[in-house]
Amino acid sequence: MENANDFKNNLLLPPTRIKKIMKKDEDVRMVAAEAPILLAKACELFIQDLTLRCREDDLTDVIMQSDNFDFLLDVVHGDDATDPFTLSFVPFYAAGGNNGKDGNNLDH
């Protein structure tokens, strides 16, 4: 039992918060005690894998190169994006924008 407590106490994501998110779904009535703990660990491993892959490549490229991340394509490309590599598609903060305060206009 000591190993189970160590596992639970060393999670980066709080299982109680994950349980609250799970219970927001009207179809979820009861959540097994282990479910939020396992989901927290799975999320940590997912984030770790994505982070390690992004060390050598751009996040967009990592998502596009791996079939495992196909569910993130809409997040990267947007639902109605025609060309995900145009400057207008890049979020303002990611493009180094400063709301036009220095006179540079990214919307040429």
pLDDT in the model for residue 1: 46
How confident is the prediction along the chain (108 residues), in pLDDT tens digits per residue?
457 677 777 888 899 999 999 999 999 999 999 999 999 999 999 999 999 999 888 888 888 888 888 888 888 877 555 554 544 444 544 444 444 444 444 444
Domain ranges of the chain: 2-56, 57-101
In contact, 36 and 16? CB cutoff 8 Å: yes
Structure tokens at 46: 């997912």
Residue 36: which residues within 8 A CB-CB, separation 6 or more? Answer: 15, 16, 18, 19, 22
What is 2-56's CATH topology?
A: Histone, subunit A (1.10.20)
Query: What pLDDT was estimated at residue 93?
Result: 44
Residue type at 20 in one-letter notation: K
